[in-house]
Amino acid sequence: MTISIEPMTLEDLEAVARIEKEAFEQPWSVQSFRTELIRNKMAHYLVARVGDKVAGYGGIWVIFNEAHLTTLAVGRPYRRCGVGTALLKALMKKAAELGARRISLEVRPSNHAARSLYEKFGFTIQGVRKRYYFNEDGLVMFNNNLDIDGETNDEPVS
């Protein structure tokens, strides 16, 4: 399977919204994604395509030297096929290109697949946001090294 990673466009929003609804209990609206794409200058969103189909998507905000992973989801037919890995790798690379030195995210403790992916990429749990997901806490994870292609990132983060 060939996976291509591209910037998310307004034309992708219907497919993104379908994946969002199947992936999350409290999905973002199409309007939320539209606002992120049009108005949020800190936001950078990507889609993964398999052929002409949107297989997944993800986004980051980059503020000064920090990035925050806002969302990452893969459509059911494409899970465990490398789509999430390709997206996370591309998002981390984009964050580094934009000057980020580290990246953070929140994840449900019960989302073992996502946690495993993040841990594979060097994220570690640094805290807990109580009831972040209304009915569940959010684990705060950080990665202080955006080195994903062998390029060192060994300056200290302040």
- State the CATH number of the domain containing residue 116: 3.40.630.30
Confirm whether 45 is a catalytic residue: no
Confirm whether 78 is a catalytic residue: no
Residue 91 within any structural domain of the chain? yes
Q: One of 66, 106, 132, 136 is an active-site residue; which one?
A: 106
pTM of the model: 0.89
Residue 156 within any structural domain of the chain? no
Residue 9 within any structural domain of the chain? yes
Residue 148 within any structural domain of the chain? no
**What tokens were used for 64?**
């000064």
Which strand (E) or helix (H) includes residue 85?
Answer: helix 83-97
Q: One of 45, 57, 78, 118 is an active-site residue; which one?
A: 118
Q: Which range of residues forms the domain containing residue 109?
A: 3-143
Residue 139 within any structural domain of the chain? yes
What pLDDT does residue 153 have? Answer: 39
Task: Provide the residue type at 96 as one letter.
Answer: A
Residue 152 within any structural domain of the chain? no
Q: What is the pLDDT of residues 92-127, one digit of tens each?
A: 999 999 999 999 999 999 999 999 999 999 999 999
Residue 67 within any structural domain of the chain? yes
Domain count of the chain? Answer: 1
